[in-house]
Structure 1
Amino acid sequence: MKKLTAQQVREIWLKFFESKKHSIIESSPLVPVNDPTLLWINAGVAPLKKYFDGSQIPPNKRMTNIQKCIRTNDIENVGLTSRHHTFFEMLGNFSIGDYFKKEAIEWGLEILTSPKYFGFDLNNLYFTYYPTDFEAKSHWLRLGVPESRIIASEENFWEIGEGPCGPCTEVYFDRGEKFDHRGIELIRDDIENDRYIEIWNIVFSQYNSKPGLKREEYPELPNKNIDTGAGLERIVSIFQDTKTNFETDLFMPIIKHVESLSRVPYSGQKEYKIIADHSKTITMALSDGAVFSNEGRGYVLRRLLRRALKHSRTLGLNEPFMHLLVDDVVKIMEIQYPSVKDNVLIVKKIILIEEEKFLQTLTEGERQFNLLLAKADKVISGKDAFKLFDTYGFPIELTAEYASEHNLKVDFDGFNEELELQKERSRSSRLVEGSMHTQDERFLRFELESKFVGYTELKTNSKVIAVFDQGIVLDKTPFYAESGGQVSDKGSINGLEVLDVIKLPNGQHLHIIEPAFEVGEMVVANIDQDNRNDIIKNHSATHLLHKALKDVLGKHVNQHGSRVSSESLRFDFNNFTFPTTSELLKMEKLVNEEIKESHKVNVTQMNLDDAKARGAQA
């Protein structure tokens, strides 16, 4: 079998799907942009939801990417298993209403087994399918896969709430009996093992999940899609013939550095794996604009750093050292994600400050624990354990360890109850919406041209070209549709108030209004000019604020979302620390000075690449 580096695997993947007329999509930042439903980008498909739910039509219906991801639902397993990570890279290929099962499976087998690409021996591969998806099974059989290597599994159905869903087929690589003497029952019965490694999941998104319906009753999607995800770390582990993912070139440089600091030889200890994984996650997340904090994604990063420092004590590392690993992470990742090297010094500084704070916290936590000993009667209560954890940052594992040394137990049930209450408070502070929106076939199929003329005309005589339950579409309209964080225009059509304006998948503007119109009817569309002018002012102010942020905080600052209306503007941005009062006042002064200058605004339309070449900021 070939010996490939991680970068060679990435390049083979992208070049293969590019040869199949896929557009290569750059990885999105780990911190989601304009998506309050996600804490982190956690899958290759996450940045593409707008295409899968039909709210936008992609420039190319075939796409491929390598997406950096963070998942933290099972942090405690990292270091204990061969393959759990908090940061990972997902290889993906996607079809939005273009090719489907036949091509997805054909190309899947081609990239996996062709000597030009991965060149895996077919005898080492197994394939699963949903029991009623005989079409997928027949495609594998047609391509020469023995029936004994195709396994039905009830687990092979992808569904995360209402919206697009469907059966899937998974690919497993058999690493041989040296990892487990048991056979394919490990796949069939979904038993955790180190022999059969799932390397790829191909999802056939063909149904609309509806509450109250059985799966066999789900309606078909108007556009059938392909969504796949392959784990880079797992594939690289196979090519480099390592016992776990951690001995590959994606982690070993970090482990070697820690080994030199601790002078404890690496032989698979969980502590090394935890430090390597968590240092990569923290470095990549901070480089993408996340910050340490006591809630949300910042709390996740703080937890990872503390967990790594806690386990580093076993290796004799009692001083700050995590910041020293940033260079190792950058060297591993910069070839695929060049921007990771842009803020190395700042990232190191932030991690060092956090390390020093926690090591001080650790000392204070130990002092608080000793105070608890005086009142503890055989058990450290859940409330006391949680107070140590939440107020003093003292990991529950350390509380349990110290309690054991004093012949005490910890009320873990009580601790978990307190932790769950805190998680609930955290969840309620942000919008949680895991599923995609349901596709609307009428909108997807509606392709009549409708022109937006609102940059030059504020009032038009227009023809109604479509009537939907929600509203109407005109052949031309002065109404701006909500887009890019800016609200829609207000105004009226034939004197009736327009409640909202949204953009349909093919670009037309849908005016949300009372159902009082017919196709072909001539109408007068009139926007509220005062409201538009107020929006314009706040829109311009967002650009001035963006420039001021870069001037005061640094060139690394970028927009991560906004909300512009006639009353106010909100600007979301990345930075490594919260702006000080002095910095806020300085930015306010810069923006107000530019406003006072009353600069003339010249409006020119051009494509995005040309605009960026002329210095425009997105």
Structure 2
Amino acid sequence: MKSREIREAFLRFFEGKGHVRVPSAPVVPQDDPTLYFTNAGMNQFKDVFLGLGRRDYTRAVDTQKVMRVSGKHNDLDEVGYSPWHHTFFEMLGNWSFGDYFKKEAIEWGWELITEHFGLEKERLWATVFVGDDAVEADGEAEAFWYECTDLLPGRVVRLPAKENFWEMGETGPCGPCSEIHYYLGDDLAAQEPRMLIDDTGDLVEIWNLVFIQYNREKNGALQPLPEKHVDTGMGFERMCSLLQGAESSYETDVFQPLIGRIAELTGKEYGGEHRVPMQVIADHVRSLSFTMADGAMPSNEGRGYVLRRILRRAARYARQLDQHDPVIHQLVGTLGETMGHVFPEVTARKDHIAGVIRSEEESFGKTLDRGLDIFARFAAKGQITGTDVFHLYDTYGFPQDLTELMAREQGIPVIDPEGFDHELAAQRDRSRQDTKSLGKVTMSLGAPLLKVGAITKKPASRFVGYDELEIEAQV
């Protein structure tokens, strides 16, 4: 099945079960100050789960744009090396708002993956919450797996909260979950519960059925919600891998157009030493494009700095493909061709996105090669210090995690990581002291500059660059 057929089959299946198809929320949250990026499909329904809002429907289905690069859910370090993890991905989900609960979620989930997607029942496993001091074991979900499906005996494994109690963040809606896993090995007889308990990598998670029934408060306490809800999330790219017989998400028709374009632009073949750089660049241009399409911009703080970090990681991997001129921006058009039919915003704003990426590539490219030379000198010592990391950050614009990634690639330890934090704090303190000591600053011609506080406060302006090429404004 092609990726667009897989996506549509999921959506239509649940429409047939009385669900309303709803659009994806922006990957850049518009009304949730606790999040840099939408990190789960449930973000747009958070008010419903908390009993603060309602919808005109009690069942929904969608494909949600998701970013996991910061906070509790952060897959950045896995990208390029793991066959399954991405900074940006689609989360296929079905939802119940005080309507059906565990029984139907499990029954319909099984029906879709075995009867419609044709996954081998002999390779399927399920997990449920083992319980803890605050919440009892989810024996109810375990019973439904055996009563409502023909899952093989002994294929339900109880796991602790880290794996089977889903939480959006430090606070918010949460509850026990039941994950569906698929065995990747050749020997069906070799399957055993230990593979899930020890996370051996023989099985891959394909779908998480979350039973939202609590709210985690700031003090850590769990409070029952007014109603019980279902929130499921299927990794679209992972399912494409299984149904297309691919060894990783990167070898599906979701990523191959991008990787093919990278190979064309660089003159390199996909594979060997070029595999990881190409996979990282393909992943990162997706996250950059979708976040910028939803209004985010690279900057030196907040979510903007997360984007800048991602872009500079991609630029450094482009160097490993011998690219010294901007190249990443040339992938935006290819992404629009493959994803624009689902998310038209990435096509509508492709010129803007490509322009921003090119500008960032050019800016970082001016210091990248020199920074790589300095890193090589530090690495020659056999270790990297926190002070070294800060020097690359402060002088050459290398994000902290990029330097640490490069050190890991060469098997070089980063000692005294606290040194980075110490240097950064000292720099900020110096900056504050300098600001305080400025007082009334004078220009070279002797004219006094106004202090910042003396500037009359004006209403905030609104960015209209997506719709207008020029406007009149008063400064």
Q: TM-score, normalised by structure 2?
A: 0.80
**Using the alignment, how far apart are the partners of 1:70 and 1:200 within structure 2?**
17
Pair 1:264 & 2:264 matched: no
Partner amino acid, structure 2, of 1:555 = D
Deviation string for 1:69-107 (max 9, x for gaps)?
111123122111111110000011111111111111111
Q: 8, 33, 44: which is aligned to 1:36?
A: 33
The corresponding residue for 2:87 is: 86
Task: Look up the SS of the partner of 2:41 in the other structure.
Answer: coil
The corresponding residue for 1:166 is: 175
Pair 1:207 & 2:214 matched: yes
Matched residue pairs, number? 425
Q: Cα–Cα, structure 1 residues 226 and 314, in superposed 2: closer, same or farther, change >3 Å?
A: same
Task: Look up the SS of the partner of 2:206 in the other structure.
Answer: strand
Q: 181, 189, 195: which is aligned to 1:186?
A: 195
Give yes or no for contact 2:364–2:397 (8 Å, CA) kept in 1. Answer: yes
**Using the alignment, how far apart are the partners of 2:123 and 2:383 within structure 1?**
52
The corresponding residue for 1:476 is: none
The corresponding residue for 2:433 is: none
The corresponding residue for 2:312 is: 306
Match runs of 1:138-537 below 5 Å: 138-142=143-147, 143-154=149-160, 155-159=163-167, 160-177=169-186, 183-189=192-198, 191-193=199-201, 195-209=202-216, 220-267=224-271, 269-365=275-371, 381-394=385-398, 411=415, 413-418=417-422
**Using the alignment, how far apart are the partners of 1:400 and 1:11 within structure 2?**
40
Give yes or no for contact 1:174–1:196 (8 Å, CA) kept in 2. Answer: yes
The corresponding residue for 1:121 is: 120
**Using the alignment, how far apart are the partners of 2:19 and 2:468 within structure 1?**
31
Give yes or no for contact 1:278–1:308 (8 Å, CA) kept in 2. Answer: yes
Q: Cα–Cα, structure 1 residues 211 and 319, in superposed 2: closer, same or farther, change >3 Å?
A: closer
Partner amino acid, structure 2, of 1:139 = F
The corresponding residue for 1:599 is: none
Task: Look up the SS of the partner of 1:198 in the other structure.
Answer: strand
Which structure features the higher share of helix residues?
Answer: 2
Partner amino acid, structure 1, of 2:41 = G
**Using the alignment, how far apart are the partners of 1:367 and 1:318 within structure 2?**
14
Give yes or no for contact 2:122–2:188 (8 Å, CA) kept in 1. Answer: no
Partner amino acid, structure 2, of 1:157 = F
**CA deviation after TM superposition for structure 1 residue 181, in Å:** 6.3
Partner amino acid, structure 2, of 1:94 = W
Deviation string for 1:165-215 (max 9, x for gaps)?
3211110111223799664312123x151x31101111111234467788x
Deviation string for 1:546-581 (max 9, x for gaps)?
6xx54xx34289xxxxxxxxxxxxxxxxxxxxxxxx
Deviation string for 1:359-415 (max 9, x for gaps)?
102245368779x98xx99876523431321342135688689999xxx98645245
Give yes or no for contact 1:361–1:394 (8 Å, CA) kept in 2. Answer: no
**Using the alignment, how far apart are the partners of 1:378 and 1:158 within structure 2?**
41
**CA deviation after TM superposition for structure 1 residue 158, in Å:** 2.0
Task: Look up the SS of the partner of 1:385 in the other structure.
Answer: helix
Partner amino acid, structure 1, of 2:347 = K
CA RMSD between the two structures: 3.4
**Using the alignment, how far apart are the partners of 1:135 and 1:343 within structure 2?**
48
Give yes or no for contact 1:343–1:556 (8 Å, CA) kept in 2. Answer: no
Give yes or no for contact 1:62–1:93 (8 Å, CA) kept in 2. Answer: yes
Larger Cα Rg: Structure 1 or Structure 2? 1
Q: Cα–Cα, structure 1 residues 177 and 324, in superposed 2: closer, same or farther, change >3 Å?
A: same
Q: Cα–Cα, structure 1 residues 420 and 27, in superposed 2: closer, same or farther, change >3 Å?
A: farther
**Using the alignment, how far apart are the partners of 2:218 and 2:406 within structure 1?**
49
**Using the alignment, how far apart are the partners of 1:401 and 1:342 within structure 2?**
34
Q: Cα–Cα, structure 1 residues 128 and 272, in superposed 2: closer, same or farther, change >3 Å?
A: same
Q: Cα–Cα, structure 1 residues 359 and 141, in superposed 2: closer, same or farther, change >3 Å?
A: same
Give yes or no for contact 2:332–2:354 (8 Å, CA) kept in 1. Answer: yes
**Using the alignment, how far apart are the partners of 2:313 and 2:423 within structure 1?**
16
Q: Cα–Cα, structure 1 residues 13 and 387, in superposed 2: closer, same or farther, change >3 Å?
A: same
Q: 454, 467, 474: which is aligned to 1:555?
A: 467
The corresponding residue for 1:522 is: none
Unaligned runs of 5+ in 1: 426-540, 558-581, 590-618
Task: Look up the SS of the partner of 1:148 in the other structure.
Answer: coil
Q: Cα–Cα, structure 1 residues 403 and 296, in superposed 2: closer, same or farther, change >3 Å?
A: closer
**Using the alignment, how far apart are the partners of 1:314 and 1:9 within structure 2?**
34
Unaligned runs of 5+ in 2: 131-136, 430-458
Pair 1:133 & 2:138 matched: yes
Deviation string for 1:453-491 (max 9, x for gaps)?
xxxxxxxxxxxxxxxxxxxxxxxxxxxxxxxxxxxxxxx
**Using the alignment, how far apart are the partners of 2:398 and 2:422 within structure 1?**
15
Relative to structure 2, which stretch is displaced further, 310-319 or 394-403? 394-403
**CA deviation after TM superposition for structure 1 residue 253, in Å:** 1.0
Give yes or no for contact 2:237–2:254 (8 Å, CA) kept in 1. Answer: yes
Task: Look up the SS of the partner of 2:269 in the other structure.
Answer: coil
Pair 1:103 & 2:15 matched: no
* Percent of aligned pairs sharing the same letter: 38
Task: Look up the SS of the partner of 1:147 in the other structure.
Answer: coil
Give yes or no for contact 1:386–1:418 (8 Å, CA) kept in 2. Answer: no
